[in-house]
A and B are shown apart, each in its own frame.
Chain A
Amino acid sequence: MDDERDLSLLETLDHLLDRGVVIAGEATISIADVDLLYLGLNVVLANVDALTRAHSRHLTPTKNERLPGTEK
């Protein structure tokens, strides 16, 4: 199901990009550029929350997703 794949991907991005990008040592990109990325992603994620809510009763949990009380 496309919704599930998209949700799984966004969950991954949420973890990878949340709180922005780590700037290490004398890295070559600036924090301002990183903020742009973070803000752009959050717009997407906010929409995904709405999607998740709308489908929460119908979704089959994917690899990284489980609803409470569903045992493997």
Chain B
Amino acid sequence: MSGTILYVYGIGREILSETLPEDLEAIDGTTRIDVISDAGLSAACTPVDEDEFGAAAVEKNSGNLEWLGELGVRHDAVVTALSEMTTIIPLRAFTLFGSVERLQKMLRRDRAALAATLDRLAGNEEWTVRIELDPESWTKAITHRVESLRTLNDEMESASPGRGYLLARKLEEARKSAAQEAEQSLVAELESAFARDLGGPVITETRQMREGSFPQINLLLPRGSENRLASVVADIQRALAGDGVTLRMTGPWPPYTFAAGELDG
């Protein structure tokens, strides 16, 4: 059975719908963005047709980048506009509630945790540093980063041609098994460097967490930290020169990563 459900963008203490840009596109292409309030909190949302945004639609369009892209741009535009007005907890795309009553019930039930999160996010924005690895250079660099490989490499270089060949094959195998360990160690090293040089919360996503995509480090930083971050990134990048590691920073983002899990349960 289809019906109307609520697509929720974000939660704040005081969201005023009348101060949103009039032509701001809602998730469904209309300009209707409602504010539902309870327990001193407000949620910005749009009533949508379950046929278009419910489970079946999501499943049907899961690989449709055009559909996802259009909705993603609208969602992010609304969240960004809200963030410019006030501190909000930005919600991930497709955060849906079955009714106004259910949304209000959640605001009442979780008001303490939501208020604490709003305090934590106030004045901050999210930056992401992706760690891109060039396979060839990084594989060579691993040899120098992992002690057992370094020893094997030294041994190979001073060995006779026959033994050297066998050691080269052994080194190749050892490199493969050490690759994951070396990447994890690099990511941990970078995480510590960012935490030390910038302070503030850090959330790291490993390659395993990202289903095979490059690992990345998310940082919650006070607004206006872009040049400070760029300088730290450049320093770290210089120190890794020749290792095949490229750091790519993106942002500022509404703090999606640091608000994640807020409504779980």
Contact = CB atoms under 8 A, between A and B. Distances in A.
B264 to A, nearest CB: 7
A17 to B, nearest CB: 6
B208 interface: no
A49 B260 contact: no
Query: Dominant SS at the B interface?
Result: mixed
Interface string A48-72: 0100110010000000111111111
A71 to B, nearest CB: 7
A1 interface: no
A37 to B, nearest CB: 4
Contact of B55 (A17, A20, A28): A28
Contacts of B91: 22
Contact of B58 (A11, A37, A52, A71): A37
Given A21-B93, A22-B92, A45 B213 contact: yes
Interface string B196-221: 00000000010000111110000000
B102 interface: yes
5 contacts: A13-B68, A22-B263, A25-B105, A27-B96, A30-B55
The 3 A-B residue pairs whose C-beta atoms are closest, nearest first, are A40-B62, A24-B263, A69-B234
Given A25-B97, A46-B213, A64-B252, 20 more contacts: A15-B256, A16-B76, A16-B256, A18-B256, A19-B260, A21-B58, A22-B94, A23-B263, A23-B264, A24-B103, A26-B102, A28-B5, A28-B55, A28-B98, A33-B58, A42-B211, A45-B210, A53-B132, A66-B249, A68-B248
